[in-house]
Structure 1
Amino acid sequence: MISYNNLNNNLNQPEKTECITLGTLAPDFLALTTQGYIRLSDYRGKWVVLASQPMAFTSVATTELIDTAKIYPLLQERNTEIIGLTTDNIYSNLAWVYDIYQKTGITIPFPIIGDADLKVSEQYGMLNPNRLYGETVRDTFIINPYGRIRAFFTLPISCGRNGRELIRILDSLQITEKYNLYTPADWVQWRPVLEPTSRTYSDLINRATTAETDGVECPFWYVCYTDLPEGAAKEITSGTPTTNMMKADNR
């Protein structure tokens, strides 16, 4: 999480953290970025990854920007856009991405918010006065095409994000929303997935009697593996929202 720079203020200010939980609507915002003003609600219809950084011109964050630029085509295949955020001003962010371009030839293709006034950080509960400055500074929020938070995680200043893991999480979330299937431990793309555990006795009996003909393997009655539907890989990477997703988000 991002903290105020003034340690004394950190320890003495009343807590302003918003509660972000899975399934809630992501707070909308209008913010100035390295690509001009953006509004989160303008991204409806796409998955969005909102990823904060401690500040511009820091070592781990620079490697993250370069890695994310390299996997950006994979994100686009999944109907996903990424929005970066620092609490620096916009000129620092512009100088940072230009410096990366000059040194590496890599263009950062996604916008980075200059959240110097901390408005977006406050909306997403990234300011916690009970944490010392720099203790935790990397928040990631994954938002679905209907504007709901589907995953979020925080990493310390010393640990950079893994771009391939981000892709894996996105694939898992999209598989669940499109097919109501789960992904097991250590799952990698397009390996067998899990059917949700039966919630009634009749469902349990029905699965037990039809598992073999349906191509479902159940080492336990509550652990049932199945293959992804034919064409699922293509559907996931096409990134098209489905009717099931729409129903789930109109609850």
Structure 2
Amino acid sequence: MTLHIGDTALDFTVDTQNGEISLHDWAGDSWVFFFSHPADFTPVCTTEMGRTAQLAEQFDARNTKPLGLSTDTADEHRKWIADVNDTQNTNLTFPIVADADLAIAKMYDMIHPDESETAAVRSVFIIDPDKKVRLTMTYPMSVGRNFDEILRVIDALQLSDRKRIATPADWQIGKEVIIPPSISDEEAKGLFPQGWTEHRPYLRTTDVS
């Protein structure tokens, strides 16, 4: 099954190195950064897991819980995490799904046969507190993720929800945002009393910082 943006994230109950979790209950009122990696004790994955752990405060500040996955067992996760902590100078505490039977990876369409029949590609799902999939990204096994971009899209999604705005290309926190065409000028006056710049009737930018 392929999950699309706006779909409800499929729930599951599964073992992790921290014990059993059920996705929806575990997520609670938080956002979730759910990401897969091909295998434990592999180089790119080690750097990604380490980077996620290093960014724990950044994820916390965004009310976002990281959740990893690979098609390995919880015991293998526990052994590998010691290597991650040692080589990446961090302390990994977030759960990593143990998916040795590929059930979750297949549920979330993380197995791409041209890459591997048994290892997950580098999938990303950003899930909001309503358990809706808000963003998906897929990287090949050979390319590590850009975590600056992952944090940026979480910021953009959360700001969009709060302020009813859209974000332009390469947007960063503090930069101007776009007033969507679906919001009339009259409604925009109430939502954005600071005013806006009209580049075209369909392109209005404003500061929401």
Structure 1 length-normalised TM: 0.76
Deviation of 1:185 after TM superposition, in Å, equals 0.5
| Deviation at residue 99 of structure 1 after TM alignment | 1.7
Contact 2:115 2:141 (C-alpha < 8 Å) held by counterparts: no
Q: CA deviation at 1:31?
A: 1.0
CA–CA distance in structure 2, aligned partners of residues 177 and 82 of structure 1? 20
Separation in structure 2 between the aligned mates of residue 213 and residue 74 of structure 1, nearest angstrom: 31
Q: Secondary structure at the match of 1:51?
A: strand
Correspondence for 1:37: 20
Matched, 1:93 2:77: yes
Count of aligned pairs: 207
Identity fraction in percent: 34
2:31 maps to which of 38, 47, 52 = 47
Q: 1:217 to 1:34 in 2, by over 3 A?
A: same
Q: Deviations over 1:169-205 (max 9, x none)?
A: 0000111112111110011112111110147xxx36x
Question: How much does 1:75 deviate?
Answer: 0.6
How far apart, in 2, do the equivalents of 1:208 and 1:71 lie?
Answer: 36
Amino acid across the alignment from 1:225: T
In structure 1, C-alpha distance between the alignment counterparts of 2:182 and 2:89, rounded to whole Å: 52
Greater fraction helix: 1
Aligned partners of 2:189, 2:67: CA distance in 1, in Å? 47
Letter in 1 for 2:17: T
Highest RCO, 1 vs 2 (Cα 8 Å, sep ≥ 6): 1
Gapped regions of structure 2 (runs ≥ 5): none
Rg comparison, structure with higher value: 1
1:156 aligns with 2:136: no
C-alpha distance in structure 2 between counterparts of 1:73 and 1:192, whole Å: 26
Which amino acid is the alignment partner of residue 58 of structure 2? L
Q: Tell me the equivalent position of 1:26.
A: 9
| 1:142 lines up with 2:122 in the alignment | no
If the length of structure 2 is used for normalisation, what is the TM-score? 0.90
- 1:158-237 aligned within 5 A: 158-198=142-182, 203=184, 206=186, 214-228=194-208
